Amino acid sequence: MDVDTEIQVHNEQASTSCASGQASASTSSEMKIPQAPVQFEVRQTDTSKGRCLVAVTAIPAKTVIFEEEPFVFSQFAWNKHCGYSACDHCLRPLEIVEANISRLTRNNNFMLPYPESCQTKKNQHEPCPDCLITYCSESCLKTAYQEYHKTLCPGYGDTKHDPMSVLENAWRKIHYPPETTTIFLLVRLLARIIQAPDKQEMVQKILNFSHKSVNEHEKLSHKFLGDQFKDQLIELRSMVSRVIYPDQSPEVHQFLTSEGFQSLIALIGTNAQGVATSAFSAWRRNVETLRLRKKDQEEVDELVEEIYEDMERCTGGEFLDNEGVGLYVKQSSVNHSCDPNAIVKFWNNNFRLSLVSKKNIEPGEEICISYLDECELHRSRHSRQKYLKENYLFTCLCPKCISEGDDPDVTSEEEASEDENDE
């Protein structure tokens, strides 16, 4: 049984409320609330890792260590442009499940059973009264307006030529799918400074995400934007300055200088966490909790398999979800390991993150996730180290990498070629 199917929920001892002001909630009907809370703490290391998250109490496997909403979030530009309809604040799908399937399969003939398992509540959707950008609820509209949308709302009028649209079109020409980040994460960060009651405090919260040097910022910006990064950086900074005016706030101005802008690009590049949601995936998970008769379950499984096959034929199986990226305060303290003891999950079908233990974690043990996907984790030590060095500017010294220290310094691709030549 994997981590998705049976977990226990442990609340933090000093639990803080989520961004929407509501306490953490269970993410599955199968979850159990234990008596004792999980305890962990963020520690400052004396190594180049900076901060780390350490267990204070024993944490059983399959436990939600914490849940968290992002400090800032944005949907990917191409994802939004191509009709992946989601709440502009939290990425909750705005499509009902039938519409989601029809769009991805180009087939309107699928009839889904158990329609009550669809999570999309059209009657709760709220558009911004000034620009008609849509949110999944009044709560998301209110939170977005209070945090950043008041500054960024384009209002009515010629949206084709407004600074936000111009920036979006330019960004899409620079950053093609598959997407890994978006310039609008940076824009919303700056808007949050402008709308913050205590602007200095907000600036410090942003700076807490990074401890990189100026030279490291340049390397990360290059990776973020590609070979033409210097010209692109100048162009993007100019366009962002038309959306967020430097004279709106002295605190904002420091991030619109050449060095300050580059530091924000680097901060996003090293700390951003990808998020994905799907109306169809949420329906499928909800149906799994219905405890159907064996025959009914088999029929559902066959239908789901048929739908995924049609989606793969139409989309290549690569772009099925609403996708975006966010910055998470607590999650940003969780370091990488090639043999992680925790994993990030999104069970709420929005941007709310759950950090879940994959194995038993002892008191004093560092809690780690993997910055690599499952395929990359199974590559050679040399390939993993190469990717981490290029994208995060560190050499991994996790137990797995140390134990494989005597392995040859060849990439997984080179190993595969050698195997083919030996045959």
**Average pLDDT of the chain, as a whole number:** 85
Distance, CA of 297 to CA of 75 (rounded, Å) = 34
Cβ–Cβ under 8 Å, residues 123 and 178? no
pLDDT for residue 401 is more than 50: yes
Stretch (H or E) spanning 393: none
How far is 356 from 298, CA to CA, in rounded Å? 29
CA-based end-to-end distance of the chain:
37
Per residue in 294-307, pLDDT tens? Answer: 999 999 999 999 99
Query: Which residues contact residue 416 at a Cβ distance below 8 angstroms, ignoring those fewer than 6 apart?
Result: none
Residue 104 pLDDT: 96
Would you place residue 32 in the very low, low, confident or very high pLDDT band (cuts 50, 70, 90)?
Answer: very low
Say which residues have a Cβ less than 8 Å from residue 12's Cβ, sequence separation at least 6: 37, 38, 39, 40, 66
| Number of residues assigned to the chain | 423
The pLDDT value recorded for residue 210 is: 74
Predicted pLDDT of residue 155: 85
Reply yes or no on whether the pLDDT at 402 is more than 90: yes
* β partners of residue 327: 72
Res 212: pLDDT: 56
Task: Give the model's pLDDT for residue 20.
Answer: 33
3-state secondary structure 217-270: HHHHHHHHHCCCHHHHHHHHHHHHHHHCCHHHCHHHHCCCCHHHHHHHHHHHHH
Contact present, 309 and 334 (Cβ < 8 Å): no
User: With bands split at pLDDT 50, 70 and 90, how would you rate the model's confidence at 72?
Assistant: very high
What is the mean predicted confidence (pLDDT) over 267-290?
94
Residue appearing with tokens 């849940």: 67
Q: What is the pTM of this model?
A: 0.85
Residues near 271 by beta carbon (within 8 Å), at least 6 away in sequence = 209, 210, 327, 332
Q: Tell me: pLDDT of 214 over 80.
A: no
Per-residue pLDDT tens digits for 217-232: 555 665 555 555 677 8
How far apart CA 151 and CA 52 sit, in angstroms, is 34
Check residues 316 and 216 and name the one with the higher pLDDT.
316
- Residue-wise pLDDT for 156-195, tens only, equals 766 667 899 999 999 999 888 889 889 999 999 999 999 9
Mention every residue, 6+ apart, whose C-beta is less than 8 A from residue 37. 10, 11, 12, 13, 15
Q: What is the CATH number of domain 8-69+328-370?
A: 2.170.270.10
pLDDT digits (tens, 9 = 90+) for 233-260: 889 999 999 999 888 888 999 999 998 9
Mean pLDDT of 98-108: 95
3-state SS assignment for residue 1:
coil
Instruction: Give the residues across from 326 on adjacent strands.
Output: 73, 273
Q: Does 28 score more than 90 pLDDT?
A: no
| Angle, helices 183-195/258-271, rounded to nearest 10 degrees | 110
Indicate the pLDDT class of residue 19, thresholds 50, 70 and 90. Answer: very low
Cβ-contact 252, 267 below 8 angstroms: no
% of the chain exceeding 70 in pLDDT? 82
Locate tokens 């305060």: which residue? Answer: 329
Q: Cis link prior to 113 (omega < 30° from 0)? A: no
pLDDT (tens digit, 9 = 90+) per residue, 342-393? 999 999 999 999 999 999 999 999 999 999 988 999 999 999 999 998 888 7
CA dihedral 187, 368, 279, 92 (to 10 degrees): -30
Average pLDDT over residues 201-209: 94
Q: Quote the tokens at residue 205.
A: 């919260």
Domains of the chain, residue spans: 8-69+328-370, 73-273, 379-422
**Neighbouring residues of 296: CB distance < 8 A, sequence distance ≥ 6:** none
d(CA 221, CA 216): 8
DSSP 45: -
- H or E segment to which residue 394 belongs: none
Note the pLDDT of residue 412. Answer: 61
Strand order in the sheet with 366-369: 40-44, 51-55, 366-369, 335-336
Higher pLDDT, 272 or 29: 272
Report the pLDDT value the prediction gives residue 307, as an integer from 0 to 100. 96
**What is the pLDDT, as a whole number, of residue 27?**
35
